[in-house]
Amino acid sequence: MSAGPSGAPERIVVVGASLAGLSAAHALRSHGFTGSLTLVGDEPHAPYDRPPLSKQVLRGLFSPDTTLPRHPDLNAEFRLGTPARALDLGAHTVNLGDGTTLPYDRLLIATGTRARPWPKPDEAMLAGVFTLRTRDDSEKLAGRLKAGPKRVVLVGGGFIGFEVASTCRDLDIPVTLLVRDGQPLEAALGPRLGGLVGAIARERGVDLRLGAEIERMEAEGGRLTGVTLKGGERIEADIVVAAIGTVRNVEWLEGSGLAADEGGVLCDGYCRALRTNGDIVPDVFAAGDVARWPNPHGDEALVAVEHWGNARAQAKAAAHNMLAGPAAGLTRHDHLPDFWSQQFGLTIKLVGLTDGADSLAVVHGSLEARRFVALYGREGRTVAAVSIDSARWLPAYEAAIRERAPFPPIEDAIDQPRLRIEEP
């Protein structure tokens, strides 16, 4: 391994050429790094923005080319369409799928996630069966929606499924949404507010089925013609979108000695990767969807957050720490997770994490008006806030979450209804 004065790195490799990887590259240059900088990506495309893919791109409002801006002085080498295959911590090298080897002084792992595939490979191969994660996925699905399918069946009760359902209704396409367990959006919003969004979806014409799942898909000539649900009901459809979660891209790290599994790459609060025995690897860092780190706003519980804002913030913290010498000190990654979604004419914004919440209170607006801010509490402390078409109060509650304020933290504010505490 080579290094400049005082151990400063001369060669930095970023594995993952998406939002986190590009954000880290820009931050490295802004912090004064002038050495060799290489970004490795398994897709052939330059780093691009994912949030528009399930919204504007599917509607035909945006081109599938959502390439992220790149500083003209970035001076980085991009190895695109070339996945990483192995990591050798001892030799400080990354082996690529094309047989080449990249040496590094510092390494950032930002490989993100991929769409979880439909569990039956023969059905997943049918024409008309889609997942939605990449630019290519969005472009192909947008083309099929533009052609006017008879019906789209969506599988999964998360935000991607609901955003696609909203797009289908905007395009006047019949859509059935299957949610196997509980209420829609329950993992993010809890059953109370998830059920409200489900009711809104039904009002907008979505055939929402709770406790429903596919027994088998039916096809003619390799093309989807319908699905049969458990229980025997058949639904004619020429498109199925499997929005059943994501898989973290860690397989290439098998045997490397890093603590990496389906939960992500384990790292400390300073984005430094950990070995399987818990030791810090001082020259390997992780950021973005693939990183699993102790959340200071959640009593140091380990989390992996698939949010746009976290990818940028964690990449910047990692970049700082990759260059920090003994005198400069390390920067703790303390981003408070936040998320937004647009669907059925509503803008939903969430700050904090609702995991383990035991109480809910509407603190502005009302559920009946579908314009409100609601807070989540856990053991008497405010841990998250969500707004629907009413985001102006969120900054105040974000500060309360950071300060570990009691639940609820603000009472008797202007426009605040009489508080009623209930289960989420």
Distance CA 375, CA 362 (A): 6
Residues 107 and 125 in one domain: no
Task: Give the Cβ contact number of residue 324 at 10 Å.
Answer: 14
Domain end call among 191, 214, 244: 244
Residue 298, domain member (yes or no): yes
Residue 364, domain member (yes or no): yes
Burial zone of 83 (CB within 10 Å; 0-12 exposed, 13-18 middle, 19+ buried): middle
Residues 51 and 18 in one domain: yes
What are the CB-based long-range contacts (under 8 Å, 24+) for 117-125?
117/242, 118/240, 118/242, 118/244, 120/217, 123/216, 123/217, 124/242, 125/222
Domain end call among 219, 244, 269: 244
Residue 331, domain member (yes or no): no
Domain end call among 277, 294, 324: 324
Say how many domains are in the chain. 3
Task: Give the domain range for residue 393.
Answer: 345-422
Distance CA 408, CA 380 (A): 8
Residue 6, domain member (yes or no): no
Residues 280 and 292 in one domain: yes
Distance CA 195, CA 184 (A): 6
DSSP for 116-146 reads PPPS-HHHHTSBTEE---SHHHHHHHHHHHH
Provide the CATH number for the domain around residue 92: 3.50.50.60
- The residues with which 280 forms a beta bridge, in sequence order, are 274
Residues 121 and 237 in one domain: yes
Residues 255 and 238 in one domain: no
Residues 212 and 167 in one domain: yes
The pLDDT tens digits along the chain (424 residues) read 445 434 689 999 999 999 999 999 999 999 999 999 999 999 999 999 999 999 899 988 899 999 999 999 999 999 999 999 999 999 999 999 999 999 999 999 999 999 999 999 999 999 999 999 999 999 999 999 999 999 999 999 999 999 999 999 999 999 999 999 888 999 899 999 999 999 999 999 999 999 999 999 999 999 999 999 999 999 999 999 999 999 999 999 999 999 999 999 999 999 999 999 999 999 999 999 999 999 998 889 999 999 999 999 999 999 999 999 655 689 999 999 899 999 999 999 999 999 889 999 998 899 999 999 999 999 999 999 999 999 888 888 998 899 989 997 666 555 555 566 777 7
Q: 36-41 and 77-80 as β-strands: parallel, antiparallel, unpaired?
A: parallel
Provide the CATH number for the domain around residue 392: 3.30.390.30
Tokens in use for 156?
Answer: 């999964």
Residues 86 and 151 in one domain: no
